[in-house]
A and B are shown apart, each in its own frame.
Chain A
Amino acid sequence: MIAFAALLERLLFAQARTAKLALLRQYFAATPDPDRGIGLAALTGDLSFAAAKAGLIRELAAERTDPVLFALSYDFVGDLAETVALMWPARPANQAAPRLGEVEQTLRTAKKGEVKAILAAWLDASDASVRLALLKLITGGLRVGVSARLAMAALAEMSEGRASLAEIEETWHAVAPPYASLFAWIEGRGPRPSAGAAPVFRPLMLAHPLEEADIAALDPAAMRAEWKWDGIRVQLAAGPGGRRLFSRGAEDISAGFPEIIAAMEFHATLDGELLVMRDGAAAPFAELQQRLGRKAVTAKMQRDLPVAVCLYDMLFDGGEDLRALPFDARRARLEAWHATTRPARMQLSEMIAFPDLTHLAALRDGARAAGIEGLMLKRGDSPYEGGRTKGLWWKWKRDPLSVDAVLMYAQRGHGKRSSFYSDFTFGVWRADGALVPIGKAYFGFTDAELAFLDKYVRDNTVQRFGPVREVAPGLVLEIAFDAAQASPRHKSGVALRFPRIARIRTDKPAEEADRLESVLRLTSA
């Protein structure tokens, strides 16, 4: 795994997408099967080892290093795996560093009690770079900023025109690590792997944000409008070969939503928004969030947080590919299909009639319902094209709300920001004169603003609680957010959706920050 370790190191420091693509291409081209396929799976998060955890690494460190030197080193480095990788006292081993394929195969079959000795032998045979890759790999923390989509884009470039990104995305769920058939296709040594009858992911069509400058160029008669729901975009793919629910990033999230899978008694591929819905009304995103990222879901969660899909589009009807048809024709097919199929937990996205854009703008600004972010505008003649083609679909979010709040606490960030106080808790004044926290923001600021905030926090700390610093109330932050929701779980009684720091208001005294009553007035039930 020497090549993989070198790749990880360069990816960690590479900033430009083109540089990352070049590094990935070179790795895939120069590394043999099955190592490169295992590497691909590790990068895309499709590889996990239950056998080795942080506790095991601590045990190894305790056995092989001096406790004082380890403590001083860990204190300096700040990361357990990196500390151990850097200071590991390698015993000369008559053994080469392990290959990635060997690591994967060995750990997959090793018994729990054997892992420590195996790992120690590998660490002895490796240099610091390989040791770090190994420790990060088995504890599941590569974090080098490579998405599955970026890895696929590298494969598309590598194929020299044999496979487009869209084709690779559609093939992705038909192949599994170490992806020998995928590489054979990419390199022109084999046919495109067939999914057989299994449902596959089709690249989603994405929208551009509508800017003021774009509005004048729009022809209202050619556009169709729908609500932009604040859930997660999903693709439903079902047929005789199975049923799958995909996220917009092509991740298979079927296991987390068994009730949707159960309702997919049809043969079609649909595009929609997954929402928590009660009596036909969408709940705030915060409720859906509690169901995301789960491998399994309890009956109670299904009852308390019932999900449904608002259907936007139809990509396949049975085996028929509708994607080249214009939006209007696909919509007609979707409506007809919905009327006859009547799937449970699925409703059609409402088409909004509008005489002109002024009228539409008024609708957009008036929409403060919990589940609505704004409007979608789609050309009636647009085919369904994967990716973000400009001029066909637009998203027109309503203007954010904002509040002037006071900085209360700060916490250091992670990774690149680990030396900066970059997570900020802010609050507003309650009627009794107390400052109550209403949310946390960790983006929206420039690097220069971050440097300012970091210094402000260090200079105005009044108390420390572990990694958190309490700051003397004095700095006003203008916080932009998409919605405010009443929330009994928060001390303030309100939760903000998508808060970010819009401006640092050094011009405004803290006493003049907003009052809690005015924030509560912004909430939607």
Chain B
Amino acid sequence: MSAPHPETWLRNTRAGLFCEPGGFHIDPLRAVDRAVITHAHSDHARPGHGAVLASAATLALMRARGIAGASERAAAWGEVVRIGDVDVSLQPAGHVLGSAQVVMEYRGSRAVVSGDYKRAADTTCDGFVPVPCDVFVTEATFGLPVFIHPPAGEEIARLLASVALFPGRTHVIGCYSLGKTQRLISLLRTAGWEAPIWLHGALVGMCDVYERLGIALGPLNQASGAARGQLAGQIVLAPPSAVADRWARRLTDPVVAVASGWMRVRQRAKQGGVELPLVISDHADWAELNATLDDVGAPEVWVTHGSEDALIHAAGLRGMRGRALRLVGYGEEEG
């Protein structure tokens, strides 16, 4: 008997991707009985599930966000967990701390759901491990050839050059609380910035979890405690929404920076009132997406969210069958 094609046992439902012989959803969009969660971003990890399988770090981050499932099962990288008739295991995705790919084997047929991922080095999470498979389900947030992320170290060097050029101004970087914040801090530390980094209150909780899980971030101060003028010459991290809000009045003549893969396209960056766009992303760029297709060597690629058309076209050029899965509801949080 030949192995069943994954399209016979893995399908798109209104609640998200559903593995029928396992009876579980992956990153479901609504509360379900059994969920496998790739990572703790709020568009992938939603509240109200019954049993949740995820990496230990993802489960810890979900608890900190107050969205833990009724019961939890932590899986180590590569540990096989049998759910229904399916062997499920997790492999690192390199997106944020705890982020995983979901590997599913059913009667000799293997499908891998990438979740969100990147291939660039990141000291705050384990790096992506390619797993050969029959069907690779990939994201395509930056699925256009114009999206090539420069080395993150170069972008941090541009930030520090700006800090040196405008020593009297506060550099405030708009970034999300989970993943981007800690990666920026880590990149700054690697670049030699040892001074305290100032945080908006909304970013503190996730940084605490990272530190508890063993990711050292160095000295962090709460920006709300800063005296008038104290933030001149300092680097402050804040959620993007706070940068344009009254909260930002405590900053001194701020240089507004945003760290995101979208900053690669100038007119897009310019619409947000950004003065210093930094192209730093937690997602794979075009080159990484394509390299990953080659690495996993799957004859068939399903593209979930992002710019599907271009990636499917590129897959076709190298003889892979591409298909748009048109999952909705993802990609709202990060860039």
B270 and A73 form a contact (CB under 8 A):
no
Is B87 part of the contact surface with A, judged by Cβ < 8 Å? no
Q: Report the stretch among B212-220, B228-236, B260-268 that lies at the interface.
A: B260-268
Q: Report the stretch among B37-45, B65-73, B140-148 that lies at the interface.
A: B140-148
Q: Report the stretch among A77-85, A205-213, A262-270, A459-467 that lies at the interface.
A: A77-85
B276 and A10 form a contact (CB under 8 A):
yes
Contact (A418, B267) CB under 8 Å given A69-B313, A127-B150, A128-B148: yes
A76 and B270 form a contact (CB under 8 A):
no
Is B211 part of the contact surface with A, judged by Cβ < 8 Å? no
Which residues of A have CB within 8 Å of B270? Answer: 12-13, 415-416
A72 and B271 form a contact (CB under 8 A):
no
B148 and A72 form a contact (CB under 8 A):
no
8 Å CB interface, A6-25 against B? 6, 9-10, 12-16, 19, 22-23
Is B275 part of the contact surface with A, judged by Cβ < 8 Å? yes
Which residues of A have CB within 8 Å of B267? Answer: 77-79, 82, 415-416, 418-419
A22 and B145 form a contact (CB under 8 A):
no
Is B165 part of the contact surface with A, judged by Cβ < 8 Å? yes
A78 to chain B: closest residue by CB: B267
B148 and A13 form a contact (CB under 8 A):
no
Inter-chain CA distance A139–B156, complex, in Å, is: 31
8 Å CB interface, B214-248 against A? none
A13 to chain B: closest residue by CB: B275
B165 and A65 form a contact (CB under 8 A):
no
Taking a contact as CB atoms closer than 8 A, the residue among A13, A19, A73 that contacts B146 in the complex is: A73
A128 to chain B: closest residue by CB: B148
Which residues of B have CB within 8 Å of A82? Answer: 265-267
Is A87 part of the contact surface with B, judged by Cβ < 8 Å? yes
Taking a contact as CB atoms closer than 8 A, the residue among A6, A10, A72 that contacts B307 in the complex is: A72
Is A487 part of the contact surface with B, judged by Cβ < 8 Å? no
Contact (A65, B145) CB under 8 Å given A22-B165, A76-B307, A79-B267: yes
Name the residue among B253, B255, B270, B313 with the largest chain A CB count within 10 angstroms: B270
Which residues of B have CB within 8 Å of A76? Answer: 144, 146, 265, 307
Chain B 259-290: CB-based contact to A (< 8 A → 1; otherwise 0): 00000111101110111110000000000000
Is B314 part of the contact surface with A, judged by Cβ < 8 Å? yes
Is B3 part of the contact surface with A, judged by Cβ < 8 Å? no
Inter-chain CA distance A309–B165, complex, in Å, is: 46
B277 and A13 form a contact (CB under 8 A):
yes
A73 and B275 form a contact (CB under 8 A):
no
**A interface residues, how many (CB within 8 angstroms):** 34
A86 and B264 form a contact (CB under 8 A):
yes
Is B317 part of the contact surface with A, judged by Cβ < 8 Å? yes
Which residues of A have CB within 8 Å of B277? Answer: 13
Taking a contact as CB atoms closer than 8 A, the residue among A14, A19, A68, A415 that contacts B313 in the complex is: A68
8 Å CB interface, A66-115 against B? 66, 68-69, 72-73, 76-79, 82-83, 86-87, 89
**B interface residues, how many (CB within 8 angstroms):** 30
Which residues of B have CB within 8 Å of A289? Answer: none
Which residues of B have CB within 8 Å of A83? Answer: 146
Chain B 298-335: CB-based contact to A (< 8 A → 1; otherwise 0): 00000000010110011001000000000000000000
Contact (A15, B307) CB under 8 Å given A66-B317, A78-B267, A86-B265: no
B270 to chain A: closest residue by CB: A416
Is B166 part of the contact surface with A, judged by Cβ < 8 Å? yes
Is A147 part of the contact surface with B, judged by Cβ < 8 Å? no
Is A26 part of the contact surface with B, judged by Cβ < 8 Å? yes
A19 and B310 form a contact (CB under 8 A):
no
Which residues of A have CB within 8 Å of B264? Answer: 86, 128
Name the residue among B145, B148, B277 with the largest chain A CB count within 10 angstroms: B145
Inter-chain CA distance A132–B277, complex, in Å, is: 16
Chain A 307-351: CB-based contact to B (< 8 A → 1; otherwise 0): 000000000000000000000000000000000000000000000
B146 and A77 form a contact (CB under 8 A):
yes
B166 and A69 form a contact (CB under 8 A):
no
Which residues of A have CB within 8 Å of B310? Answer: 68-69, 72-73
Inter-chain CA distance A13–B265, complex, in Å, is: 12
Inter-chain CA distance A89–B276, complex, in Å, is: 26
Which residues of A have CB within 8 Å of B274? Answer: 13
B145 and A73 form a contact (CB under 8 A):
yes
Inter-chain CA distance A77–B144, complex, in Å, is: 10
Contact (A77, B265) CB under 8 Å given A19-B166, A416-B271: yes
Which residues of A have CB within 8 Å of B307? Answer: 72, 76
Which residues of A have CB within 8 Å of B309? Answer: 72
A72 and B144 form a contact (CB under 8 A):
yes
B275 and A14 form a contact (CB under 8 A):
yes
A75 to chain B: closest residue by CB: B144
A15 to chain B: closest residue by CB: B275
Inter-chain CA distance A15–B255, complex, in Å, is: 10
A13 and B144 form a contact (CB under 8 A):
no
Inter-chain CA distance A418–B271, complex, in Å, is: 9
Inter-chain CA distance A416–B266, complex, in Å, is: 10
8 Å CB interface, A387-439 against B? 415-416, 418-419
Shortest Cβ gap from B26 to chain A (Å) = 28
A414 to chain B: closest residue by CB: B267
Taking a contact as CB atoms closer than 8 A, the residue among A12, A14, A26 that contacts B266 in the complex is: A12
Q: Which 8 A-B pairs have the closest CB atoms?
A: A86-B146, A87-B145, A72-B310, A73-B146, A87-B146, A13-B275, A68-B313, A69-B145
Could you write out 17 A-B pairs with CB less than 8 Å apart? A13-B270, A13-B275, A16-B253, A19-B255, A22-B165, A72-B307, A73-B144, A73-B310, A82-B265, A83-B146, A86-B148, A87-B144, A87-B146, A128-B150, A415-B270, A416-B270, A419-B271
User: Footprint of B on A, CB under 8 Å?
Assistant: 6, 9-10, 12-16, 19, 22-23, 26, 65-66, 68-69, 72-73, 76-79, 82-83, 86-87, 89, 127-128, 132, 415-416, 418-419
